[in-house]
Structure 1
């Protein structure tokens, strides 16, 4: 159930019910990779380029606020590392109350639907949404189809993941892309929540923007893209291209041209 606080904060992390969110919580997962060492410059670049919000773990909050150009801020509440025993085993790293204290406009939580860790993550997401509603905080559920017998691009599995997020009380849901607009339409229709997609590993500029175009054509609400944006040689430019599609309904070519990126890339 939405409240005045939730509605007001959703406005801070989106534009007219569409979203360009740049997650940069990967420092806990992957370490200080390209784009995250000088995270201040990256935050300034993506928010100048049209991002609605950035997302980090709670400890990075002091490095965010002075550089986000008045845009929204989301705190992520669980995590894991690539060098640990199981990257899919996301553990709690913060609380809604801590996110409030560090100036967040929303919180996010990751669940791998179909993994061995799904039951525990499901329970924790339910706790997060209950606490967030009490405090008027929106919840972005990162609900992926991941597991030993799950195809991460299967639209049926992705549809199940996004519906699970709605059933547990999330306000926005992020998931993987099924590969084309036609199949992704099923995912969008599986929930009444705004659906945004992950970017995954960095592809070409055209591949990135074409994927965003497909999501919007399917009725999606935008993106929550990390590595495709913050590891780009020009994070501001690729954000401009993505925001051009999400917020201005540009074609792939027009979005790339507006951002000054090569059309053949």
Structure 2
């Protein structure tokens, strides 16, 4: 059940029910890659560019707050590494209480629907939702369609993933993009939760912004987009473009122009 506290905190990580979230928890997964060594500058840039919130693991919280320009903060509570035995095997890294002590406005958890680890991750998300509800803390479920024989861009599979997140008590759900607005509409209609998409590996500026435009045209609620933004040569500029589409309903060319990014990029 949504409480006043949950609603208030959702407003800290979004604007009018739309979300530009920049996850930067990739240090645990990939190490100190481009954009994360000097995470302070990246956080400052993306929040100046229009991001509503940034997301990290709990240990990075001291590097976040002084640089987020008053925007929201989400603590991610599970993780894995690319050099470990299986990146899909996400293990818990924080509790709701630890997230609150770190100054979080929300918590997030990654679940791979269709993987061999799905049963345990379902339990983890259910428990997290239950614990977070006690404090009026919103939960962002990162629900992906991933596993043996699962097409990670299939709209039916993505629809199943987002519905699972709602069924387990999440407040916002992040998933992959199905490739076009028409098919993604099914994903959005599979749940009453706000649906945001992941960005994946960095594409061209136009590809990134066109994808965001497609999500919004399908009735989506925004993005939770990491590498496409924090690994950009100008994180503030690409955040400006993405925010322009989500919060100002700009078309692709207008968003790129506002951000000062080349239209042919």
TM range (shorter): over 0.9
TM-score by length of 2: 1.00
Alignment pair present for 1:182 and 2:182 = yes
Whole-Å separation in 2 of the counterparts to 1:99 and 1:4? 19
User: What is the CA distance between 1:125 and its match in structure 2?
Assistant: 0.4
Q: Match of 1:233, SS?
A: coil
Whole-Å separation in 2 of the counterparts to 1:15 and 1:125? 25
Q: Give 1:246's aligned residue.
A: 246
Q: Give 1:235's aligned residue.
A: 235
User: What is the CA distance between 1:179 and its match in structure 2?
Assistant: 0.1
Q: Give 2:127's aligned residue.
A: 127
Whole-Å separation in 1 of the counterparts to 2:151 and 2:7? 34
Whole-Å separation in 1 of the counterparts to 2:29 and 2:78? 10
Matches for 1:44-123 after TM superposition, within 5 Å: 44-123=44-123
Q: Match of 2:54, SS?
A: strand
Q: Match of 1:201, SS?
A: coil
After superposition, give the CA deviation of every residue in 1:227-261 in whole Å (9 maximum; x if it has no partner). 00000000000000000000000000000000000
Whole-Å separation in 1 of the counterparts to 2:66 and 2:201? 28
TM-score by length of 1: 1.00
Q: Give 1:259's aligned residue.
A: 259
Q: Give 2:152's aligned residue.
A: 152
User: What is the CA distance between 1:149 and its match in structure 2?
Assistant: 1.1
Whole-Å separation in 2 of the counterparts to 1:139 and 1:91? 17
Q: Give 1:15's aligned residue.
A: 15
Whole-Å separation in 1 of the counterparts to 2:110 and 2:2? 21
Q: For structure 2, list consecutive stretches of 5 or more residues without a partner in the other structure.
A: none
RMSD after superposition? 0.2
After superposition, give the CA deviation of every residue in 1:7-59 in whole Å (9 maximum; x if it has no partner). 00000000000000000000000000000000000000000000000000000
Q: Give 1:166's aligned residue.
A: 166
Q: For structure 1, list consecutive stretches of 5 or more residues without a partner in the other structure.
A: none
User: What is the CA distance between 1:193 and its match in structure 2?
Assistant: 0.1
After superposition, give the CA deviation of every residue in 1:81-122 in whole Å (9 maximum; x if it has no partner). 000000000000001110000100000000000000000000
Q: Give the total of aligned pairs.
A: 265
Whole-Å separation in 1 of the counterparts to 2:81 and 2:264? 35
Whole-Å separation in 1 of the counterparts to 2:10 and 2:224? 14
Whole-Å separation in 2 of the counterparts to 1:183 and 1:125? 26
Whole-Å separation in 1 of the counterparts to 2:88 and 2:217? 30
Whole-Å separation in 1 of the counterparts to 2:82 and 2:155? 26
After superposition, give the CA deviation of every residue in 1:181-203 in whole Å (9 maximum; x if it has no partner). 00000000000000000000000
Q: Match of 1:119, SS?
A: helix
Q: Match of 1:108, SS?
A: strand
